[in-house]
Structure 1
Amino acid sequence: MAVSIFPLSAIGAGDIAVIRSQDLDPYNQAFAGFSESCASNVKQYTLGGNGASQQRMAQEISEAKPRLVLAIGLMAAKLAKEYLKDIPTLYIMVSNPKKYGLIGNNIAGITLNIPVEAQFKTYKTLVPGLKSIGVIYDANNSGEIIREAGSVAKKLGVQLVAVSVTSQKEVPEALRSMLGKVDAVWMVPDETVVTTDSFKYFLVTTLEKGVPFFAASDIFVEAGALAALTPDYTDVGRQGCQLATGFTDGQVSLAETGARPPRKINLSLNLKTARKIGLAIPKSVIESAKLVYQ
């Protein structure tokens, strides 16, 4: 179902309660995008304190009877799902919403998950002749995305070498087992796999072997990974405004909306890493990147 842009005046004062999981820059960027696009006076909340204080916050929101809750981040979305069941909820800045039960007739949103096909197509432009990609994952966290990746890889003529782990301790051996068999390593945002220690191991090992390392965040690219694709957080907020306006205007159903991917994606590159592994990145790709670390 396509999203149409509806008149911003459709949202009136007090129609939306905004809950931020934390006062973090990415969440603030998303809210700024929402605010600049939606001419709406909203009531803002930021989670904090203990469970009792959060329940009191939920009670206050429930009594205010907003037409819609905008939940920014996972904690806010889970709070709305648990305590504000009767109020339609639109979430943004959430990864893997299905894993946390953020599905239903009264809840929908925009995920942080970038479509695998968009990722793999970008990686193929970065690494000419890319034929195989290795990935480490926990099936309980990332089974769905790996199944999608398998289908996409086959479609694009790329072999996916996926190694499943159940604990962070298994990650080093899993990485060693695939090096020499793959043209690049892809890190998915998996809670079991992605830790400070494991990232350091990924980085050092792939640099030593001269293997391109595609990470899950531009922070990792700044630290030495070759590249990452990330959502444009401000545009996620704008996209959320379009859905919110459509919903309050009666043109968009949350049940039909489901979980949508971000529409604007930013590429970050580390050219120092590219030089270290002997990879020449096309000028056109460099020019298209949002962030380039020299």
Structure 2
Amino acid sequence: MLLALDTTTGHSPSMRAGTEAIATGAMIAVIYPESAEPYRSIFTQIIEGIEDKARNRVTRLLVGRNSSNQDIANELRRQDVRVVIALGRNGLRTAMAVNGELKIVAGGLLSLPEAESRKVTLLSLAPDPGLLFERLKSLMPEVHRVHVVFDPNNSGWLIRLARDAARATGLELVAQEAGDLGTALGRYQSLLATADPKRDALWLPQDSTTVDESTILPLVLQESWSRNLAVFSSNLAHARRGALFSLYPDTTEMGRNLALTAMDSLSGTVVRGQFPLRNLLLAVNMRTASHLGLKFSERQQQTFHLTFPEP
């Protein structure tokens, strides 16, 4: 069995539930899977953020292929763990398997089935639609309508949030459902043929059904380029390949937010369910921006964390 432990102690951080965590002696366990790169580095950065914020009482539990749920459960009881931060699908699966009275905060996942989301608090990897739309309006104020193609089984919860966010941002959201690749392809072909590049933009969510990397993405990037239609994405790799911009996770800050949520859960103030990510960084494709005739002020460019093509 692979079960690596690391406990870090320090002074009480200044946060809403930090004093209760110390007063009760409750530990926060971070359960995360053994992974290859680049996921190993991503999990490490998230955990560094967790330990920075909740450094008074954090235990790492690295779960390998042969880990025993019983041994993990015994270790959680031995260290008086009251709340678990579960990273990744395997981390969450382990946390739910050993869960007794533990509260679970999950991260490193895009979404959960509705039944599972009622049992945990998930801080999703999916960028908050409101922040995406605000960034779009700051870069392209003339845009008034956003198109998106989504699978309700993958992204239904996110699109519900996006509808409210669009109204708050003064945008019209045209959201079309597609439950399979063929339907999605037809949706894209239709909207690319009719979209008005002067007022429309296309959003690519992290949806494995409707944003297929080998079929959909090349079509969208090629056709949008030829039609001068702005495309923005929830996936960093898409900005590198030609989308105007993407928002992507600030992994260390995301870890701090996971820690804060876990500590709040000790006082019962955290709501279960899944929530979009607000700890985000901005990547902009300057070649695409130039092609679209966009010019950014020096002040705007200071907010760009990554630009493509890279120097």
| Shorter-chain TM band | 0.7 to 0.9
Q: Output one character per residue of 1:35-76: Cα deviation in whole Å (capped at 9) or x when no partner.
A: 223224644333443xxx35x2x2211112133222012331
Q: How does 1:50-69 map to 2 (within 5 A)?
A: 53-54=66-67, 56=68, 58-64=69-75, 65=77, 66-69=81-84
TM-score, with length taken from structure 1: 0.84
1:275 partner letter: S
Mapping for residues 169-248 of structure 1, pairs under 5 Å: 169-179=182-192, 180-182=194-196, 183-197=200-214, 198-247=216-265
Q: In the aligned structure 2, how far is the partner of 1:100 from the partner of 1:288?
A: 38
- In structure 2, list runs of 5 or more residues that go unmatched: 1-14
Letter in 2 for 1:90: V
Amino acid at match of 1:63: N
| 1:92 is the counterpart of 2:107 | yes
Task: For 2:171, give the aligned amino acid.
Answer: V
Q: What letter is aligned with 1:276?
A: H
Amino acid at match of 2:159: I
How far apart are the structure 2 equivalents of 1:108 and 1:93?
A: 12
Picking from 12, 17, 27, the partner of 1:15 is 27
Mapping 1:121-160, distance limit 5 Å: 121-160=134-173
Q: Identify, as 1 or 2, the structure richer in strand.
A: 2
Report the CA distance shift for 1:275/1:238 in structure 2 as closer, same or farther (over 3 A). Answer: same
Name the residue aligned to 1:274. Answer: 289
**CA distance 1:5–1:253, shift in 2 (3 Å):** closer
Give the AA of the match of 1:245.
M
Code of the aligned partner of 2:164: S
User: In structure 1, what residue type is equivalent to 2:163?
Assistant: G
Paired amino acid for 1:124: K
TM (normalized to structure 2)?
Answer: 0.79
Specify the code of the residue in structure 2 equivalent to 1:219: A
Q: 1:10 to 1:101 in 2, by over 3 A?
A: same
Corresponding residue to 1:114 among 127, 137, 140 = 127
Conserved 8 A contact 1:93-1:236 = no
**2 CA distance for matches of 1:85 and 1:119?**
38
Higher mean Cα deviation, 228-237 or 62-71? 62-71
- Distance of 2:167 and 2:252 partners within structure 1: 33
Greater Cα offset, 208-217 or 89-98? 89-98
**Paired residue type of 1:37:** K
Contact 1:286–1:292 (Cα < 8 Å) also in 2 = no
Task: Give, in angstroms, the shift of residue 205 of structure 1.
Answer: 2.0
Cα RMSD of the aligned pairs, angstroms, is 2.7
Deviations 1:129-180 (A, max 9, x none): 1011111111222222223323332343322222221112333321121123
**AA at the equivalent of 1:192:** T
Aligned-residue offset at 1:186: 0.1
Alpha carbons 2:28, 2:58 under 8 Å: kept: yes
Please give the alpha-carbon distance, in whole angstroms, between the structure 2 residues aligned to 1:85 and 1:193: 37
Identity %: 23
Kindly report structure 1 stretches of 4+ aligned residues shifted beyond 6 Å. Answer: 11-14
Q: Give SS of 1:136's match.
A: strand
Aligned amino acid, residue 108 of structure 1: T
Could you tell me which residue of structure 2 aligns to residue 4 of structure 1? 16
> In terms of mean alpha carbon deviation, does 269-278 or 148-157 score higher?
148-157
Task: Provide closer, same or farther for how the CA distance between residues 102 and 11 of structure 1 changes in structure 2, counting only shifts above 3 A.
Answer: farther
| SS at 1:113 equivalent | strand
Contact 2:126 2:234 in 1 (8 A): no
**Structure-1 separation of matches of 2:286 and 2:60:** 41
Match of 1:78 in 2: 93
Tell me the distance in 2 between the aligned counterparts of 1:263 and 1:150.
Answer: 17
**In 1, Cα distance between equivalents of 2:48 and 2:264:** 19
- Between the two proteins, the alignment pairs up a number of residues equal to 282
3-state DSSP class of the match of 2:302?
A: helix
CA distance in 2 between partners of 1:282 and 1:117 (Å): 23
**1:101 aligned partner, one-letter code:** E
